[in-house]
Amino acid sequence: MPRASYDVAAALHVLTTHRFVALTGAGLSTDSGIPDYRGPNAPARRPMSYQEFVSGRTAQQRYWARSHLGWSRMRRAVPNAGHHAVARLEHLGVLSTLITQNVDGLHEQAGSRRMHALHGRISDVVCLSCRERTTRRSLHDRLTALNPGFESRHGDVAVRPDGDVELADTRDFRVPSCDACGGVLKPDVVFFGENVPKDRVLRCYEAVEEADALLVAGSSLTVMSGLRFVRHAHKLGKPVVIVNRGATRGDPLASYRLDLGTSDFLPLVEASLVRR
C-alpha cells in the first residue's frame, strides 16, 4: 500500500472536513503529569495482570498499597490542552465519538460526553463477587483509615501510568473487603490479561462504522484493544490519521502519520475548524 502522508496540512484538512472518531491513549495525558508506558523515553514497566491480581491476598496487598499512593497524586491531575481541544471538537460537531484507552478521567473533566472509556475508569471500584460498584474516593478514605501514616512515609515515590507507584515492601498494608458481601475489591478497569467487555467493543466498532475517518492520538497501539479499530477503519476504506511521539503498531495502516505531541496538534485541529 502507499506510504502514509506526513503532510500536516493535509491531515488537518481531513479532520476538519469529515466527522471522525478519536481514539486516545496514554500519550495524551503525559502533559498532565501522568507518565505513559511506551513513549520514546518511557522506562520498561510491567503492570500487574488480572491473573496475578486474583491469585491471592499478597498480590492484592501489593496492588492496593501502590495504587493508594498513586491515586493520591493522579486525582490531582488536570486536563491539558489536548483534552480540552478534544472536548471542544465534540461540541463543534466534527468529532462524533471519543474512544479512550485512558482510565484517568481527564477527558470527562475537560467536558467530553460522547465517549467510551474502553478500559474503564480508575475512579470506580467493583467487587469481584457481588459486582457492587463504589467510588474510588470512598475506598481511598477506608484505606487511609486502615493504614495511618502510610502516605506520609512514602511521599517521594514516583507515579506510574496506571495510577500506582514503585514500592517494594507492601506486606503490612491492610486492604478492606467489600462492605456488601466481603468480596475482593478491584478498580473497575481492564487489567492486562483481562478482556474488554464485548458490548463496549461493539459500541466502539459501530462508532467507527458511522464516522468518516479515524484519528489516533497519543497511542502506540501496541495492544489489540485499540489496534482493532484502526484495522476496522482501514478495512472500511476510511482515512486514518495517527498522531503520536514514536512509532505505532498501526503505522502501516495510516493514511497520515504525524510524529507530533497531542497537546500541540489537537488545538491546531480546533483552530483550523474555527477558521473554515
Binding site for Zn(2+): what residues are annotated?
A: 127, 130, 178, 181
Report residue 230 as a C-alpha cell.
484502526
Report residue 190 as a C-alpha cell.
481492564
Give catalytic residue positions: 119
Residue 52 to residues 57, 171, 193, 220, 264: CA-CA distances in angstroms?
10, 16, 9, 25, 38
DSSP state of 40: T
Burial class of residue 136 in the structure, from the number of CB atoms within 10 Å of its CB (0-12 exposed, 13-18 middle, 19+ buried): buried
The Cα–Cα gap between 204 and 98 comes to: 9
Query: Residues annotated as binding site?
Result: 25-45, 101-104, 127, 130, 178, 181, 218-220, 244-246, 262
Helix, strand, or coil here: 266? helix
CA angle 140, 144, 148 (to 5 degrees): 170
| C-beta of residue 216 within 8 angstroms of C-beta of residue 243 | yes
The Cα–Cα gap between 241 and 103 comes to: 23
Closest to 109 (Cα-Cα) out of 134, 86, 135, 141: 86
Angle between helices 198-210 and 224-235 (to 10 degrees): 30
Query: Residues annotated as binding site for NAD(+)?
Result: 25-45, 101-104, 218-220, 244-246, 262
The Cα–Cα gap between 230 and 213 comes to: 10
Strand blocks (E) in 158-249:
185-189, 213-217, 240-243
One-letter amino acid for residue 48 of the chain: M
